Amino acid sequence: MRTQVAIIGAGPAGLLLSQLLHRQGIDSVVLESRDRAYVERRQRAGMLEQNTTDVLRDTGVGGRLDREGLVHHGLELRFGGAGHRVPITDLTGRTVTIYAQTEIVKDLVERRLADGGDVRFEAEVLAVDPAAPSVTFRQDGTEHVLECDYIAGCDGFHGVSRPAVPDVRTFSREYPFAWLGILADVPPSTDELIYAHHERGFALHSLRSPKVSRLYLQVAPDEDLGAWSDARIWDELAARFATGDGWELREGPITDRAITPMRSFVAEPMRHDRLFLAGDAAHIVPPTGAKGLNLAVADVTVLAEALTERYASGSETLLDGYSERCLRRVWRAEHFSYWMTTLLHTDPGATPFEHRLQRSHLDYVVSSQAAMTSLAENYAGLPLK
């Protein structure tokens, strides 16, 4: 078997890269270890920067996004019993959109298959050879070797691609808290996301659709999910979102719940020989800044541009600069995500002095246009170029 680009992983990064290459006449094969149903129901973040929505539209998969996505022009920081709006569009001229990652994956799978794309589910990758580029995989009990010009490792944090990069340098930070996230069949209590800082811990009110809410609570990393009844979850959310103006949190049936650990992680370089890492295979951010999916889209957009130049002109200049270019954006997003996380969460090990500094910083952010603009620029997404 042979193709021009072998893509490992059928998440948003791998599928989008395949679609971007297809539109430039470049062949690819996408290999995914899970079945299609599993891939299309994986719950992940759903806040899209304008860069991301622009790329999806340009790639031909923006129809349902435009019909069903919830466009936001601001967000709220809530602390001390009061809310403070950050007017993102007024400050940056950009918007953010709420659209579930599961729906992005469904849209991309449908588009790739409709265009005759080769997306192979239940294809377990066994080995990656970055030098004489090839991928060995098993499907239906038979081993195959897929030869190619280049390999894109879009297979996530636990995938096989990153271990194939020798002497990779890693940088990481574990946080002393996690998120308990829920989906609830109840209309959202807010039109824009609420990021709440409270002495009992952080809380986030997000939206999935006009009828479904997505909410999060800061908990301990070793929290027992079974100890959280529906009533306890709603009571804790209400306490952390409480304001002095009578704002009320709507409650409804909880349909899904999970605990997500918080970590920052970067692997350098993002390229070895003919293997290129993208998305979670190369970096992880805490979800506070909503950068994970958007970084993955930025990575594959840069990679698709570089591969297009290579096949059009023979030049590998952009391919040679892939890792450095992506890592500049990655480290900016890592810092912003770290900043948002430490600004809003309650550190169980912090001293009273540090708690007062944190509150002072929050007061500054919502009272300074310069500080608010910096938050808005990073949240809405810096330009790709």
pLDDT tier at 61, thresholds 50, 70, 90: very high
Judge if 5-71+100-172+263-344 and 175-262+348-380 fold alike in CATH terms: no
Q: Which CATH number fits domain 5-71+100-172+263-344: 3.50.50.60, 1.10.150.20, 3.30.300.20, 3.30.420.10?
A: 3.50.50.60
- What amino acid positions are annotated as catalytic residues? 72, 195, 287, 291, 379
| % of residues, the chain, pLDDT over 70 | 99
pLDDT tier at 341, thresholds 50, 70, 90: very high
Average pLDDT over residues 217-246: 96
Q: What is the pLDDT of residue 211?
A: 92
Q: What is the pLDDT of residue 297?
A: 97
pLDDT tier at 43, thresholds 50, 70, 90: low
Q: What is the pLDDT of residue 383?
A: 83
Average pLDDT over residues 311-335: 97
Q: What is the pLDDT of residue 42?
A: 76
The domain ranges of the chain are 5-71+100-172+263-344, 175-262+348-380
Q: Specify the fold of 175-262+348-380.
A: D-Amino Acid Oxidase; Chain A, domain 2 (3.30.9)
Q: What is the pLDDT of residues 116-170, one digit of tens each?
A: 999 999 999 999 999 999 999 999 999 999 999 999 999 999 999 999 999 999 9
Reply yes or no on whether the pLDDT at 45 is more than 90: no
Reply yes or no on whether the pLDDT at 103 is more than 70: yes
SS3 sequence of the chain: CECCEEEECCCHHHHHHHHHHHCCCCCEEEECCCCHHHHHHCCCCCEEEHHHHHHHHHCCCCHHHHHHCEEECCEEEEECCEEEEECHHHHHCCCEEECCHHHHHHHHHHHHHHCCCEEECCCEEEEEECCCCEEEEEECCEEEEEECCEEEECCCCCCCCHHHCCCCEEEEEEEEEEEEEEEECCCCCCCCCEEECCCCCCEEEEEEECCEEEEEEEECCCCCHHHCCHHHHHHHHHHHHCCCCCCCCCCCCEEEEEEEEEEEEEEECCEECCEEECHHHCEECCHHHCCHHHHHHHHHHHHHHHHHHHHHHCCCHHHHCHHHHHHHHHHHHHHHHHHHHHHHCCCCCCCHHHHHHHHHHHHHHHHCHHHHHHHHHHHHCCCCC
Q: What is the pLDDT of residues 276-315, one digit of tens each?
A: 999 999 999 999 989 999 999 999 999 999 999 999 999 9
Q: What is the pLDDT of residue 246?
A: 85
